[in-house]
Homo-oligomer: A and B are copies of this chain.
Amino acid sequence: MKYLLSTFLVATTSASVIAQTNVLSPEVETTARQLMAEALDSDLAWEIVESLTTEVGPRLGGSEAEARAREWGRELGEELGFDRISVEEFELPFWERGDMSITMTAPYQQALYGTALGGSGASPQNGELEAEIAYFRTVDDLVAVEDSSLIGRIAFVDGDAIVPSQNGEGYGPANQRRRIGWQHAQRAGAEALVVRSVGSDSHRFPHTGMMTAQGSEWAEIPVIAVSNPDADHLRRLHAGGNSIRLDVHSTAGWQGERTSGNVVLDLIGREKPEEIVLIGGHLDSWDLGTGAVDDGAGIAITTAAATLIGRLPQRPRRTIRVVMFGAEEVGLVGAQDYARVHAAELANHQVATESDFGAGNIWQLASNVSEAGTLAVDAIGKIIAPLGIIRGGSDVPGSGPDISPMAARGVPTINLRQNGTDYFDLHHTPDDTLDKIDPDQLAQNVAAYVVFAYLAAELDVQFRE
């Protein structure tokens, strides 16, 4: 398949319609098409994500493993010939999962598959936490609960599995039970909160993920997500009129300050080195899987794309920067630190985007850039159309979570939107492992990124208003 598609792409170069729009010269268009064809034939992204997930493994923000990942990123940047490499460290509060178990003790004994949510408290150190559940069909039902009405009970928020979709539409609403459920369970005096995992799969994996602090306060009670099949089981038992009791054990908690950091790899622009086209992903992962689709893939796609550009006879006009953000999962800490440290430089960030929605094919190119920049993105869209990518509107929000702090400070963004139909099957579970990545789809991503990054850095177009 790769061979045929590459042949087709190179073959169409001579019959270009893009150059006729005068946005880009025939030479530049030819180079872009050659990079795209090369990307489709390259295993580089696969090798990068294989190395990260295998040699480093899980890498929770602030952990020793994440520090090894930064060293891995620095060495990789050197090996791949980037011009400038910096590791920019920062401190953050460190939450650790510890041990946990959740067991149904009535109507009969059965181990459930659960995991603590990020920011969860521990169960009492020298005591048992075993209680009857109070069943809530939705998180809204829990939000409506009266203060102190759940004393001596464990709140269980059922909800529903996410409906799988290309754009992951169901994630935000479903995620409310993970985000704010604890605030209401704790207010009502519950001993613990158990929620249905925020995921679209029907496997017996719990999905972890960060809760939302209330001001600077975090949960004092254990907050546990259980897999969809386990939540289904509790729902059926509840519907059958059974009184359900759970035993919850967790040693989760905050462990003081630790170090995280961003790894910044630059190909320095030959004419406008101060102007930056930023692509990237996040280097940290949750601790349950090995962070393959979230977000080893994003690291691999963007690093591979920049590397292919770095092998051209000359650098593009602008600087291409790959940022491997640290500590994304635990609260976009690296993204905020980047925006802070590089505050003075942000006005020179021409355009930015992140790959952080798995490893599925890109299906849409959306943008939020200047009028002139929009024409350039249109031209990019025409070149990558044979990859199955449609041009989206300029009103599609989002370009990756780590871009949001700089976007809020005026950095223009584009979005190469991936098909995330299976993303929330794997997201934040033990099942996020290398085997879930399709090498051909990974290469399609690199092909789109390489065209975007090359042209955004090469064209004499202002993406800023």
Q: Which residues of A line the B interface, CB within 8 A?
A: 50, 53-58, 65, 68, 107-110, 113, 202-205, 228-229, 232-233, 236-237, 240, 289-290, 429-431, 433-436
Residue of chain B at shortest CB distance from A289: B204
* Residues in B whose Cβ lies below 8 Å from that of A430: 113, 204
Check if B229 sits within 8 Å of A54, measured CB to CB: no
**Given A204-B205, A430-B204, A110 and B435 contact (CB-CB distance below 8 Å):** no
Query: Are A232's CB and B434's CB within 8 A?
Result: yes
* A50: nearest chain-B partner, CB-CB: B236
Minimum C-beta distance from A296 to chain B (A) = 13
Counting from the closest, the 3 A-B pairs by CB-CB distance are A229-B433, A204-B430, A202-B435
Say whether B54 contacts A108, CB under 8 Å.
no
Contacts of A290 in B (CB 8 A): 110, 233
For A110, list chain B residues within 8 Å (CB).
57-58, 290
> A107: which B residues are within 8 A, CB to CB?
55
Residue of chain B at shortest CB distance from A63: B109
How far is B242's CA from A55's CA once the two chains are assembled, in angstroms? 9
Contact B108 A433 (CB under 8 A): no
Taking A57-B108, A203-B205 as given, write out 11 further A-B residue pairs in contact, using a Cβ cutoff of 8 Å, ordered by the A residue number: A54-B233, A57-B233, A58-B110, A68-B108, A202-B435, A203-B431, A204-B430, A204-B431, A228-B435, A232-B434, A233-B290
B108 touches A204 (CB 8 A): no
The answer to whether A233 touches B55 (Cβ under 8 A) is: no
Q: Nearest CB to that of A202 among chain B residues?
A: B435
A435 to B56, CA, bound (A): 35
Residue numbers in B under 8 Å from A236 (CB-CB): 50, 54
Asked if residues B108 and A202 are in contact (CB atoms below 8 Å), the reply is no
